[in-house]
Amino acid sequence: MASSSSCMMLSQHLFLPHPKLSHSSSSSAPISRTHYSLYPLCFRTLRRSSTKPFSVSVSCALQALIFDCDGVILESEHLHREAYNDAFVHFNVRCPPFSPSQPLNWGPDFYDDLQNRIGGGKPKMRWYFKENGWPSSTIFETPPEDDADRVKLIDTLQDWKTERYKEIIKSGTVEPRPGVLRLMDEAKAAGKKLSVCSAATKSSVILCLENLIGNERFEGLDCFLAGDDVKEKKPDPSIYLTAAKKLGVSEKDCLVVEDSVIGLQAATKAGMSCVITYTSSTANQDFKDAIAMYPDLSDVRLADLESLLQNVVAAS
């Protein structure tokens, strides 16, 4: 049987970031799934090379599977960006010096960077306006100077943006990402706790879940939390710590499915293992703390995730 020291060395090697997961955005080539099945593959290789059968006695098992929503259940970044830009046009939001003569517009590259650094819509806008100057708009002719007016501006923009986003989701053109529904059904059938934890507003997430996973699956969730339910947004771990408490399971027995480094940080700070199903806008992030990475969940089974969690314990 492999010694605990060799398992630790193997763990350290496996968590090295892959060259394709750099912060550079120059590479647009798709990332192969084989690069991110190294963890279980190495353990399978270790089993074959050992003279004795490799067995693991662990004190934890997968009891709860927790999904993020945006980027995991649906690829939503471009939809949110479209809704924000529509809100900026609707309220004629002008933010000098970048948009003195036309409404503010967040481009794809900028929004990818913004949404991967700051969770939640209101914090995004507050950060942007604080950095670049508060805007004029049809809400306030001159840039708001006191905090109460700034809160009103952000609240108004966010409320309108949320309604616009709902219209997009209701259009019937949006589908869940591959493998999500099957994996949810496998978890429920196996008696696992199932949860969705999103930094987005509750009304927005509810609409997404009702339209993309269906009412039966949504009502069958053992826990559902949105950004409204916690004081601090991801990467703060509050939402995942709250979920574990509501589910009645230990953090080490939870496995989180995320798509961004912000979500990964929230999960690991909560003491939970995390797998990444990255999108085109998050593929170049540093996911060294994830226990596995996939381009989507189409080939991922519940048994794979259970094995991953056991291997993490064996390597620790």
Burial class (CB in 10 A: 0-12, 13-18, 19+), 102: exposed
From the list 70, 112, 236, 253, the catalytic residue is 70
Q: Is 70 a catalytic residue?
A: yes
Query: Which residue's entry shows tokens 């004629």?
Result: 92
Amino acid at 206: I
Contacts of 101 (CB under 8 A, 6+ apart): 94
Q: How far apart are CA 271 and CA 251, in angstroms?
A: 6
Question: Is the N-terminal amide bond of 103 cis, ω within 30° of 0?
Answer: no
Label residue 179 left, alpha or beta by phi (over 0 means left) and psi (-120 to 50 means alpha): left
From the list 68, 112, 236, 253, the catalytic residue is 68
Residue 277 CA to chain centroid, in angstroms? 8
* Tokens, residue 292: 């596995």
Element at 193 (helix H, strand E): strand 193-197
Cβ atoms of residues 190 and 306 within 8 Å: no
Number of H helices, E strands in the chain: 12, 6
* Tokens, residue 215: 């009412």
What is the three-class DSSP state of 300? coil
Q: Is 68 a catalytic residue?
A: yes
What is the three-class DSSP state of 306? helix
Amino acid at 239: I
What is the edge-to-edge ordering of all strands in the sheet holding 254-258?
223-225, 193-197, 64-67, 254-258, 273-277, 292-294
Catalytic sites, residue numbers: 68, 70
